[in-house]
Structure 1
Amino acid sequence: MLKFLFLFILLVNIGNGGPSDSSTVIVKKNQISKLRLGVVAAGTVGFGILTYDYFNRVWWKPTKVKKFIWRDDWNDVLKADKAGHLYASYVLSNVYKSIFKWVGFSGKTASLFGAGISTLYEVGVVELTDGFTTQWGFSPTDVISNMIGAFFPVAQEYFPGLQAVTFKFSYTPSGYTWLDYLRVGSLKDALYKKQFHTDYNGMTFWMSFEFQRLLPEQVEKFIPDFLNLAVGYAVRNINYSGGGYTELYIAIDYNLLKVDTKIDVLNRIIYTLNYIHFPAPTLRIKPKLKFYYLYF
């Protein structure tokens, strides 16, 4: 799901103005573009068909049954998949929020439409279809995670202080390091051997904060506005039955929405990358302290 999201985000941000401060957006009804709305509708249908076909082939079809199965997998992978559901739903909702602003809707209306699209897809399509498979089943805690992610951009509209928070993601195929990628063919080998969408041992989920907002003005002015602090969550040595352990991190993060290259298309691509946590100095605080000069 994540690789489809990143491609989708890139195409969207190149096609419209990219992220904007929703608190300053005031749009009248007669500014809504029917042409753009039609493009969005067609693109949404196409995106849905392509991703459904992919997941049907790799996930659902091999274990599909006619009986609806309830299965709460709350702790199978130490809740890393819940973070994944929240993140994917958040990204999809936020992207559609940006799309509906491009169409001409106000920030609050666009966020509600974005949350609706995200919920419809992540819950109404993905989770319900999971319910008709023996491998996955319908998980209520997956639904809750999806709903939190989908409606977080809505909450940001009604509570502007939440706009200081961004959810991010980083990934290195488990069993590999950055140094491994320096060897010819190693990166390709790593990505092909690991199933990206279920390799939770290699994923880290981040909550990034614009911490400058909490500092006194005389201190804030000395800190670049593109520097954030992020809290990371990862799991290691999981066995998909509740075994393994969790890791917590505190890291420097980069708020790419504060970057302005003066080149519109380049800015949009950079804004797209803001959903990824890039390598940065990091302190692991659990299970024991360890400092990384660069952690991804």
Structure 2
Amino acid sequence: MLSSYSVQGQSDSSRNDSIEEKRPNYVRLRAIFAGQSALYLGSIYGLSRSWYKNPLTNFRVKDDTYEWLQMDKMGHVYTSYQIARHTAALYRTTGISKKQMLVYGAISGIIFQTPIEILDGFSPEYGFSPGDMVANVTGSMIYLSQIALWDEVRIQPKFSFHYTPLAQVRPELLGRNHAERWLKDYNGQTYWFSGSPGTFMKNSRWPQWLCFSVGYGIDNMVSAEKNKSIAMGYMPVRQYYLSLDVDLTKIKTRNKFVKTLGFLFNSLKIPAPALQFSKTGVEFRPLYF
């Protein structure tokens, strides 16, 4: 009886230890919640003080889906996706369940963008954009659906940028300095979707880190509206790209620091040769970013 009791006691103790190991790190979880809240409130305050030049007025809705040839909507999709991806990875370190991690990440991608849309609704220059909200939800869902379906991200939304001379034409709209231009000059932005055939085919010899990348960009937009750009003497065009890319998260390494760098920089498309397609024809870019 004594021997049986001892074994049973040891088993219960091991089970309790296992339960303790699986419990989430609530201290870290609360710290992340607090940090997110502070960043969230600080962002709202900073935007309300610096981005909006005129005093906020009555709330109004504006359909702006025709502006910038939808490049700004691509930016909303990309930003929401990246917020969801980074937030989910942060919550993963707390030991919460996969379902909770996905939900918190997806919600964060939407919540962090929503205050901007609300402030736009009260701004006389902008107005609340239903199109922006749809793009915000889409970005988070791109992350959530891939993890739910494949338990990994196989199609990576990415970003690249190059400076264009068009910003000098209308610096008040496209940016007065380098920092403003990469945010405001949509002519220099390209949004990509990168994926490796090796992640979709079992027992494939194709390296999972080597990706094909499809991109979208615009040119000659010196106004938010196409007709106004044409009236100023510019012919706006949509541009599509096909290029190679590297999924830095698929490069095998045991170094945690290198893994972290790979995760962070995987939001950017690497410079590489690209084919550019537009209504003016096909052009080869030896090195495009």
| TM-score of the two chains, using structure 2 as the length reference | 0.80
Match of 1:229 in 2: 212
* Structure number with higher relative contact order (C-alpha < 8 Å, ≥ 6 residues apart): 1
Q: Does 1:121 align with 2:112?
A: yes
Given candidates 194, 207, 211, the residue that maps to 1:208 is: 194
Whole-Å separation in 2 of the counterparts to 1:86 and 1:214: 23
Contact 1:173 1:190 (C-alpha < 8 Å) held by counterparts: no
Deviations 1:122-168, CA, capped at 9 Å, x for gaps: 12x11111100011110001000000111222211321187311100
Q: Does 1:110 align with 2:96?
A: no
Distance 1:29 1:152, change over 3 A: farther
Distance 1:265 1:175, change over 3 A: same
Contact 1:108 1:154 (C-alpha < 8 Å) held by counterparts: no
Q: Does 1:56 align with 2:39?
A: no
Whole-Å separation in 2 of the counterparts to 1:286 and 1:51: 38
User: SS state of the match for residue 163, structure 2?
Assistant: coil
Distance 1:84 1:43, change over 3 A: same
| RMSD, matched Cα | 2.3
| TM-score of the two chains, using structure 1 as the length reference | 0.78
Contact 1:169 1:203 (C-alpha < 8 Å) held by counterparts: yes
Contact 1:89 1:146 (C-alpha < 8 Å) held by counterparts: yes
Whole-Å separation in 2 of the counterparts to 1:212 and 1:94: 22
Whole-Å separation in 2 of the counterparts to 1:203 and 1:272: 19
Tell me the amino acid that sits aligned with residue 191 of structure 1.
Answer: H
Tell me the amino acid that sits aligned with residue 271 of structure 1.
Answer: F
Given candidates 227, 246, 249, the residue that maps to 1:254 is: 246
Tell me the amino acid that sits aligned with residue 188 of structure 2.
Answer: G
Q: CA deviation at 1:96?
A: 1.1
Deviations 1:227-268, CA, capped at 9 Å, x for gaps: 101100001111211342110001101110022444321321
Match of 2:31 in 1: 39
Match of 2:124 in 1: 134
Counting aligned pairs with the same residue, the percent is: 25
User: SS state of the match for residue 249, structure 1?
Assistant: strand
Q: CA deviation at 1:57?
A: 2.9
Match of 2:10 in 1: none
Distance 1:214 1:286, change over 3 A: farther
* Residue-pair matches, total: 252
Contact 1:155 1:162 (C-alpha < 8 Å) held by counterparts: no
User: SS state of the match for residue 85, structure 1?
Assistant: helix
Q: Does 1:146 align with 2:129?
A: no
User: SS state of the match for residue 74, structure 1?
Assistant: coil
Show structure 1 runs of 4+ deviating over 4 A: 27-30, 214-217
Tell me the amino acid that sits aligned with residue 104 of structure 2.
Answer: F
Contact 2:57 2:124 (C-alpha < 8 Å) held by counterparts: no
Whole-Å separation in 1 of the counterparts to 2:122 and 2:21: 42
Whole-Å separation in 1 of the counterparts to 2:20 and 2:276: 48
Larger-gyration structure (1/2):
2
Distance 1:102 1:215, change over 3 A: closer
Deviations 1:101-125, CA, capped at 9 Å, x for gaps: 11112223211111112212212x1
Q: Does 1:97 align with 2:80?
A: no
Q: CA deviation at 1:190?
A: 5.7
Gaps of 5+ in 2: 1-18, 167-175, 228-235
